[in-house]
Amino acid sequence: MRKKTAVMPFLLALAAVTIAGLSATAAPAQQTTQGETSQKAKPPARDSCITSECHATLDKDRFVHGPVAAGECTVCHGKSPQHRDRPAEYRFAKIKDTAAACYKCHEQFKPKKFTHTPVADGECTACHSPHGSPNKFQLLGKGGALCFDCHDEELVAGKFVHGPAAVGGCIACHEPHTADYAKNLRAEGPALCFMCHTDKADALHKAAFVHKPVSDNCIKCHNPHSAAKQFMLRSRVPALCLNCHKDKKEQISTVSVKHGAVETGRSCLNCHDAHMSDIPKNLLMEPMDLCLNCHDRQYRLADGGKLMNMKKWLADNKNHHGPVKQKDCSACHNPHGSNNFRILRKPYPPTFYMAFSISNYDLCFSCHEKTIVLDPETTKLTDFRNGDMNLHFKHVNKPIKGRTCRACHETHASNFPKHIRESVPFGSWELPVNYRKTETGGSCAPGCHKLKKYDRVQKEING
């Protein structure tokens, strides 16, 4: 009995030491040396699906939905008898009403006139990942790539692409959720364009004249996404302009004498600013300055004729015709084309001689009194008379070789009174006029006849 009694305490002590050793091996120390943290692993959140066994990568994207990042899956999914092989606390429901789930946390969009289809359908996940994404706001795609999941990519297939559309910045112009304007636009008409094109907005407010499409809607001329033409123009000028300016379209297509400015270079934009101007008709410059901007050189015409350097001619000849003094070339010329010589608004004889007809002088008689060539005698109509003999009547009223206005007068400018010419083109010869003015009359000795004089007071007898 004594031996048995002595053995028992020893066995009890050995067992205690062994159990203590095993316990020390099984559980790491809660605290070691100062500054070291516990090596015990943090238990996963009770509601999280993100474990090494399940959904391990849901929180690995650059942008992670808040509940996912916090491991709070039940915020959106709730609990459900699914995943029956999992403990009850890890069983989550499939979301049936996406929008309702989102609006538990996210503020619902205020109702507006226009709503993006996914929002209207309650399909937030058509654009956003509910868990995580490489893109901001957990978008399923970056910029336009996301939009073109639904919208036709042909929108940006043109040669020239609008800046925001080219870089996928659709939301520069469109609200992605709800908007007050059609197409979910952020603003209406030109106001939308002026959000970026501030230079045009400033000019618009300062300009005296604004092209109607600019004040109405820029997209009448420009495609807001892309186009085959530069500046996203819907068609090439002048066709683009003539879509609205129907009267000019008919005129330009039917006239026999074309204005080069309409048919060359930038066409309508050679003369007009497409947006705004401080000059009527949206002209780029004051009318005469605009004309002389091109007519500052000599032009050779297709018919072999020439157009003089008008800018130089006006500078060298100081006695200007009335419309020229008023700097109004369009008083006589139609800048869009005409059926008359030199795109004149009304008939005017292009030759030295022409049989008399009052209609031949319609252009001149737009301003001048026509009786100046109809009355054979006068003491008031003109100073060009020999006594009371009207010399305008005498020169013009001939059945075959009536002298036209251009036979004696330079229609733009001259250094002689009444725009009398120094010489007249007569075929290849510059026929001299040799006009001399006196106090009561004058004389001329042109190549067509010998010296002849006239006097209003003392009638000259010419041989």
**Biggest alpha carbon–alpha carbon distance for the chain:** 185
C-beta separation of 237 from 266 below 8 A: yes
| % of the chain beyond a pLDDT of 90 | 68
Q: pLDDT band for position 81 (50/70/90)? A: low
Q: What is the pLDDT of residue 48?
A: 66
Residue type, 168: G
What b/e readout covers 200-216, taking b as 16+ CB neighbours within 10 angstroms?
beebbeebeebbebbee
What is the arithmetic mean of pLDDT over 273-277?
96
Least confident residue range of 46-50, 119-123, 218-222: 46-50
The rounded distance, in Å, linking the Cα atoms of 364 and 45 is 99
Q: pLDDT band for position 9 (50/70/90)? A: very low
Q: What is the pLDDT of residue 95?
A: 83
183 and 282, same structural domain? Answer: no
Report angle CA 336, 338, 343 to the nearest 5 degrees. 85
The model's pLDDT over 113-124, given as tens digits with 9 standing for 90+, comes to: 999 999 999 999
Secondary structure class of 456 (helix, strand, coil): coil
158 and 137, same structural domain? Answer: no
Q: What is the pLDDT of residue 334?
A: 97
The pair of three-digit structure tokens given for residue 252, joined into one six-digit string:
């330009």
CA dihedral 346, 299, 415, 411 (to 10 degrees): -10
- 449 burial level (CB within 10 Å; 0-12, 13-18, 19+): exposed
C-beta separation of 183 from 175 below 8 A: no
291 and 180, same structural domain? Answer: no
Between 382 and 21, whose confidence is greater? 382
310 and 262, same structural domain? Answer: yes
Which residue has tokens 């003015």? 437
C-alpha atoms less than 13 angstroms from C-alpha of 97 in its C-beta half-sphere: 5
Name the pTM for this structure.
0.77
Give the helix, strand, coil percentages of the chain, each rounded to 5: 35, 15, 50
Q: What is the pLDDT of residue 92?
A: 58
Q: What is the pLDDT of residue 83?
A: 57
- Residue 189 sits in which domain range? 147-234
Long-range contacts of 439-445 (CB under 8 A, 24+ apart): 441/386
Among the three residues 141, 170, 200, which one is the final residue of a domain in this structure?
A: 141
350 and 289, same structural domain? Answer: no
461 and 350, same structural domain? Answer: yes
Domain-embedded: residue 370: yes
Which of 332, 331, 197, 329 is closest to 276 using CA atoms? 197
Residue 212 has pLDDT above 90, yes or no: yes
Residue 427 DSSP code: T
Among the three residues 106, 141, 176, which one is the final residue of a domain in this structure?
A: 141
Domain-embedded: residue 126: yes
Give the contacts of 64 (CB within 8 A, at least 6 positions apart).
58, 131, 132, 138
Distances (CA, A) of 375 to 381, 382, 383, 390: 9, 11, 13, 7
Which of 343, 337, 341, 359 is closest to 351 using CA atoms? 341
Q: What is the pLDDT of residue 39?
A: 39
357 and 324, same structural domain? Answer: no
136 and 152, same structural domain? Answer: no
Which of 193, 196, 195 is closest to 218 using CA atoms? 193
Least confident residue range of 15-29, 207-221, 254-268, 342-356: 15-29
Which of 200, 228, 224, 227 is closest to 214 using CA atoms? 200
Q: What is the pLDDT of residue 7?
A: 35
Q: pLDDT band for position 262 (50/70/90)? A: very high
444 and 359, same structural domain? Answer: yes
Q: What is the pLDDT of residue 168?
A: 93
Residue 133 DSSP code: E
Between 302 and 232, whose confidence is greater? 232
Residue 214 has pLDDT above 60, yes or no: yes
Question: What's the domain count of the chain?
Answer: 4
The rounded distance, in Å, linking the Cα atoms of 283 and 277 is 7
Q: What is the pLDDT of residue 410?
A: 93
Q: What is the pLDDT of residue 1?
A: 36
Long-range contacts of 387-394 (CB under 8 A, 24+ apart): 387/455, 387/456, 387/457, 387/458, 387/459, 389/459, 391/454
The rounded distance, in Å, linking the Cα atoms of 162 and 150 is 20
74 and 122, same structural domain? Answer: yes
116 and 54, same structural domain? Answer: yes
Average pLDDT, the chain: 86
